[in-house]
A and B are shown apart, each in its own frame.
Chain A
Amino acid sequence: MKKFRIPKSWFFLSPMFVLVTLFFAVPVVITVVMSFTDMDYSFEWNFIGFMNFQDMASDFLIPKVLLNTLVYTFATLSLFNVGMALLLSLLTTSISDRLGDFFRSLWMLPRLTPSVVYGLLWLWIFDPTKYGLVNNIRAWFNLPPQDWLHQTPMLMVILANGFIGASMGMLIFTAAIKAIPIDYYRAALIDGASWFTITRKITLPLIKWQILFVTAYQTLSLLTSFEYILIITDGGPIFRTEVWALYTYHTAFESFRYGYGATLSVILVLVGIAAAFVYLKLFGFEALMSKPRIEVD
């Protein structure tokens, strides 16, 4: 009789399961259940049905927050996470590898820098006094300092997030461009094609899959990110940079309305789950999952 044995793979996987269950699976369930309560800092499960969802529909801030989220996501994505990323990858692959690597490394720096220090750099760049970088440049032309935080808060958070977000697309596009066979370019050059023609007719069509991937992936990550906005403007002044994710955070951890905060999160969770599954369908990750070749237990 064969004794039942726990497969060895379980031994390797169980620690992962414990943490993933505790901090992914359980929180998803709790978020959904909590959205039907009016839980506050006393942590009582007081169920109130769909009240929170009704509140959300009549919340006067929601239209503003939605609009902010759209502007922020669309602008950062198009200008930086895809736009700047494309520009950087096209330019850095047109010069020597050493210089290209140098510039690409520089663009990695913001991503690795602790967020509060990175935020400090942008607070200095847009400092309202004459000590800020932008106001310094204005001083060269005898222009008075401007209070950027009150004039263009949305631009500040878009730039701050953009300079971080551009690096992911840059790396992916660069890898894709480097993988294009050089013969295509040689042939185009012989035919007399200019740099712009080559870029438009050869490079871009060949990396369109990567562009699609970065667009999809970064849309989700921008929709749910709020760390740098929290640090730089904290949603202000008067909610002008309050995006959905930050509004969720403020509702829960500043107004202590956990129930309503959870309701707002549910929307993000739903968007997140839907998007994650769309990626899987769209980008066929099956290819990455080759099966192991030996089986000894």
Chain B
Amino acid sequence: MEGVKKYQLTFFQRNSQKIAQVIIVLILILVTSPIILGYAWLILRSFSEDIVQGFIPTKLTLKNWRFLWQNIEGYPSIWKITMNTFLLALGVMVIEILITSMGGYALSRYEFPGRSSILRLILVLHAFPAISLMVAIFYVLWNLGLLNKLWGIILVKASLEIPWGTWVMKGFYDGIPWELEWAGLVDGYSRLQVWRKVILPIAKPGIAVTGIFAFLSGWSEFVFVNTFIFEQQTWTLSKYVKGIIGDFRFVDYGLLTAVGLFYVIPTIVFFFFVSKYMIKLTIGGVKG
């Protein structure tokens, strides 16, 4: 019938919600593009002979990865350097887990004079820019004979992360019901045994989170290695990659990206676990 017009919405009105969603996703893709393209380039370039349009590979090759089986001239073996980096990361992780799992427990479960001052101090230290103390830390390390040694970096790095780690561990302990502790004490455990045998096993996820973050932060450390390590034999990957960038930029992006990608492998491995956790974190645990 001609006279009765059907009540019809336009395409845009019918799908306004969907269209809005698509537009939002497009905006997000646009603002995130430097990150997406950057990492795409890093991966693609490292396996290709040359590249067109910025990041489209032309010919696949493994030549860029030659640093794995032969030394780059003027640089020590990558495996030696990787071992150093691993030891540094492991050292930071072990020390931080040890200290923060103890400190966090005391702050979560003991009442003692000065407790709230210590908590306050931890928060102040967390916000405090420790990097501004580098000159003095240099002097301290020199005095302790720890300059140019991995141990020096491990101790500094672990110390600077203690406020953050302690706070996170305290948060995990706070979430464990007191009843478990009471039960342990009733069964005749001492406070120490309760901590070791009852609480620590339950706090494992917290320890894992603190540990992974500590490992990654040790693995990535650049400024302290750059400043406090002088010998090539004690270098870590950050210093190695920085050196390669300095020497081969404009000459061999293939090598740069391959070395860079090699360096971020652990980060990528842990990324999915860590990012999921970080997304759920709120103010307490993220260091800006």
The answer to whether B3 has its CB under 8 Å from any CB of chain A is no
A210 to B38, CA, bound (A): 30
The answer to whether B31 has its CB under 8 Å from any CB of chain A is yes
Pick the contact of A110: B35, B250, B260 (CB < 8 A): B35
Report whether B281 and A171 are in contact in the complex, using a CB–CB cutoff of 8 Å: yes
Contact size range, A: 35 or more
Given known contacts A99-B25, A101-B279, is B111 in contact with A291 (CB within 8 Å)?
Answer: yes
- Residues from 114 to 133 in A contacting B, C-beta threshold 8 Å: 114-117, 119-125, 129, 131-133
A230 to B98, CA, bound (A): 32
The answer to whether A143 has its CB under 8 Å from any CB of chain B is no
Collect the chain B residues with CB atoms within 8 Å of residue A174's CB: 279
The binding surface of chain A is classed by DSSP as helix
Task: Kindly count the residue-residue contacts between A and B in the assembled complex, taking CB atoms under 8 Å apart.
Answer: 305
Report whether A12 and B106 are in contact in the complex, using a CB–CB cutoff of 8 Å: yes
Collect the chain A residues with CB atoms within 8 Å of residue B242's CB: 116, 231
Report whether A95 and B25 are in contact in the complex, using a CB–CB cutoff of 8 Å: yes
Report whether B124 and A16 are in contact in the complex, using a CB–CB cutoff of 8 Å: no
A105 to B20, CA, bound (A): 22
Report whether A117 and B41 are in contact in the complex, using a CB–CB cutoff of 8 Å: no
The answer to whether A20 has its CB under 8 Å from any CB of chain B is yes
A159 to B35, CA, bound (A): 11
Report whether A272 and B99 are in contact in the complex, using a CB–CB cutoff of 8 Å: no
Q: How far is the CB of B227 from chain A (nearest CB, A)?
A: 5
Report whether B110 and A171 are in contact in the complex, using a CB–CB cutoff of 8 Å: no
Of B61-69, B74-82, B156-164, the one touching chain A? B156-164
Q: How far is the CB of A149 from chain B (nearest CB, A)?
A: 11
Collect the chain A residues with CB atoms within 8 Å of residue B103's CB: 12-13, 15-16
A101 to B277, CA, bound (A): 11
The answer to whether B28 has its CB under 8 Å from any CB of chain A is yes
A147 to B28, CA, bound (A): 28
The answer to whether A221 has its CB under 8 Å from any CB of chain B is yes
Going nearest first, the 4 A-B pairs with the smallest beta carbon separation are A224-B129, A12-B106, A27-B136, A121-B38
Q: What residues of chain B have their CB less than 8 Å away from a CB belonging to chain A?
A: 20-21, 24-25, 27-28, 31-32, 34-39, 41-42, 51, 53-55, 98-100, 102-103, 105-112, 115-116, 118-120, 123-125, 127-140, 142, 155-156, 158-160, 162-163, 166, 174, 178, 181-182, 185, 191-192, 216, 219-220, 222-223, 226-227, 237-238, 241-242, 245, 249-250, 253, 256-257, 260-261, 263-264, 267, 270-272, 274-276, 278-279, 281-284, 286-288
